[in-house]
Structure 1
């Protein structure tokens, strides 16, 4: 089979970047929920005062370093990104890596330390926290399916899976102290994150395009953030099953796509350019969108892409 060169053009999907901005004045007054997308599966979900953060992945080492070198959190980049999204002005209750691969967990412990947040996940994520010197009190090992309260947020972690192939499968069994080879960041536990705010707003965050059949049965979420990395290389049956086991299972009314950007490139700040889709060699977003657009129309679900750095409220109509 001939290798497909280039990458999808996000301009082809401009109509899907339709999430209205949530006013920063509403955040300042603590009167509105909002979500800020910062590449891959990193989402800051806040109510103006309290927040939770998925992943917190900002360093984004180059492909060459990932394949041949050693990787470590870039604390200068992390600080700049946390300042840009306003996390320092919020009580960030928890940092939640969706699994422990480097493109989710590399920076998570440093971010938790900076913000004074709990680092929440499985045993593999705990090893990231221990390697970063987090106090035991900030490392929370979740029980699968059990809800935990963090301020106004109820968080439930449900067993999920990584989209095939998982290049670094298995558990992390000892503390990770960067710089290390990329392979040190084993997948560990993969999660479907169910989030409920005290206001009643609910969301599913599926950071990787993998699933465990029926794992989300009986759960509900108004909004689903779906990771789509590698999904476009899968067969149509798999893509359809992924939609069924996430969007349909939880009766989501809106789907927002994440983990579609080329994370071997630095995260651009405002005025420095925009995100690009992963190259066809690593994913095919065009395939994913052709299937998802059809399923969204069939099910009456709104399908969107988030804008980088722009705080949006997916629970609002319009």
Structure 2
């Protein structure tokens, strides 16, 4: 049976429940709409090769453990102070990798998926890749920045969207996406790197470099879509239909119909997990710190998801809590 049919069957069969267990905070659930009868045939039992857990590391960062393999998405643990949350943003802030914070949390990694190369998504990636030997997937900019940090080309894989990467017990589909824009309709640190630059020294040396999304499909487990910024090229989402979507919170209203287009494009996932809503320049301590204006945006996002996709459950994650979808 095609994987899309399998996912649709599972979602329709479980339309009134979100199969989530966790020790952290979960937001309330909207009353589900009545599911339409499914016409798909029952799915065969898929082989499960190990337990799967998802741990949020703040911003858009995740650690996903699949049996004896570990996939990292936008791992940013150093959480350096740039003044962004105090109104004194310093674009010349030095890139300071906090190995004392990273080492206890990153004992292994097989794959690192980079949505884009801003500092709060990419800064720690070269150190983590050197420490673990993980293969780094990202845009051509991520590839050239990796070379600038001294990573070998054999450890770097440039992708652009459309690739389906097979890792045996799981696969990763790369999806072309877009970065969000600020109230001036601009992107912070725009630009790409078409050749290796000098090793970056400040946060301004890490441009956006184009933006990707990733769909992780686990054999016998969930399909999960990861975003790194709050904009969407919805035409690229056709047929993905994930069970779970990690959705970056919108920080400005300059992107039209962001959530309606994203949720419709993803076929209204069973579970929606807000990310990139926290103050990511403070330590990883629960409850996640949220600026007052961002708290308002988060509440508005939760309400909007319930209105747009009443069959979806909203799970507001806490740091380093193991979630099982």
**Where on the TM-score scale, by shorter chain, does this alignment land: which range?**
0.7 to 0.9
Q: Please list every run of 5 or more consecutive structure 2 residues that lacks an aligned counterpart in the other structure.
A: 1-19, 25-47, 84-88
**Structure 2 CA distance, aligned partners of 1:95 and 1:242?**
26
Matched with 2:34 is none
Count how many residue pairs are aligned between Structure 1 and Structure 2: 272
Secondary structure of 1:257's aligned partner: strand
**Structure 2 CA distance, aligned partners of 1:295 and 1:275?**
21
Among 158, 170, 188, the alignment partner of 1:167 is: 188
**Structure 2 CA distance, aligned partners of 1:291 and 1:224?**
14
CA contact (8 A) 2:53 2:64 kept: yes
Shift of 1:131: 2.0
Matched with 2:300 is 290
Using a 3 Å threshold, how does the CA distance of structure 1 residues 80 and 106 change in structure 2: closer, same or farther?
A: same
CA contact (8 A) 1:93 1:118 kept: yes
1:28-67 → structure 2 map (5 Å cutoff):
31-64=50-83, 66-67=90-91
Residue 276, structure 1, aligned to residue 289, structure 2: yes
Among 264, 269, 274, the alignment partner of 1:257 is: 274
Among 144, 149, 161, the alignment partner of 1:127 is: 144
**Structure 1 CA distance, aligned partners of 2:220 and 2:90?**
41
Which string of whole-angstrom CA distances, capped at 9 and with x for unpartnered residues, describes residues 86-133 of structure 1? x43xxx321011110000000112112211110001111112211221
Among 235, 241, 245, the alignment partner of 2:261 is: 245
Shift of 1:21: 3.8
Secondary structure of 2:189's aligned partner: coil
Matched with 1:81 is 105
CA contact (8 A) 1:72 1:179 kept: no
Larger helix fraction of residues = 1
Secondary structure of 1:61's aligned partner: coil
**Structure 2 CA distance, aligned partners of 1:293 and 1:206?**
20
Residue 308, structure 1, aligned to residue 285, structure 2: no
Among 218, 222, 226, the alignment partner of 1:197 is: 218
CA contact (8 A) 1:194 1:203 kept: yes
Shift of 1:70: 1.8
**Structure 2 CA distance, aligned partners of 1:122 and 1:63?**
25
CA contact (8 A) 1:56 1:105 kept: yes
Deviant stretches of 4+, over 6 Å: none
Shift of 1:80: 2.7
Q: Please list every run of 5 or more consecutive structure 1 residues that lacks an aligned counterpart in the other structure.
A: 1-17, 23-28
TM-score, L = length of structure 2: 0.76
Shift of 1:194: 0.9
Shift of 1:138: 0.7
**Structure 1 CA distance, aligned partners of 2:305 and 2:121?**
28
Residue 225, structure 1, aligned to residue 276, structure 2: no
Shift of 1:291: 4.3
Bigger radius of gyration:
2
CA contact (8 A) 2:178 2:211 kept: yes
CA contact (8 A) 1:172 1:184 kept: no
Secondary structure of 1:214's aligned partner: helix
CA contact (8 A) 2:288 2:318 kept: no
